Amino acid sequence: MKLSILLVVLLLAFSCKESNMNQTIAFRLKPGEDLKNGIERVVLENKIQAGWIITAVGSLTDYHIRFANQAAGTKNSGHFEIVSLTGTLGMAGNHIHIAVSDSTGKTIGGHLLEDNKVYTTAEIVIGISGIYKFSRENDGSTPWKELQINKQ
C-alpha cells in the first residue's frame, strides 16, 4: 500500500513538472495584419526563448516568399490559403517557412518574409519550451547565423 502511494505521488510530481516545462500560446491575426510581424510581436511580447509553430490556418491577400536558393523574394496578390506554416521561434530570431495555395489548388512554399497580408484570419498556435533557449550564431557550418540549442 505504501509503495502504491509513493508511486502515485511520484507520478503526479513528474506530471506536474512536465506540464510546467512547456506552454502553449494561441492567437489570431486579423485582416490586413502582416503575418511575419504579427508572429514576431507575439514572440517579443511573451519573451519566448525557444518556441515552435504547432499549427496555423488562415488566408492571405498578398504573399512574399523566398524560394530555395534564391537571393530575393517573390510577391503575388490575390487570395491564398495558408496550407502550412512551420518554424522555430525565439527572441534571438525566427526561421519560418510557409506554403500557400491559390484558387486552383496550386501550392508554393518557401521562407516567410515581410509583406504577407492576412485576408480573413491567421489562427496560430505556438509551443514554448521551458528547458531550452534558442540563439542564432555563425558556427562555421554555413555562411549564415544558424540555430543553436542550449538548455536554460
With CA atoms as reference, report the closest residue to 66 among 102, 6, 116, 14.
116
Summarised one tens digit per residue, pLDDT across range 108-139 is 999 999 999 999 999 999 999 999 999 999 99
Summarised one tens digit per residue, pLDDT across range 62-76 is 999 999 999 999 999
Distance CA 108, CA 83 (A): 10
What is the reported pTM? 0.85
Q: Which domains does the chain have, with CATH numbers?
A: 23-151 (3.30.1330.80)
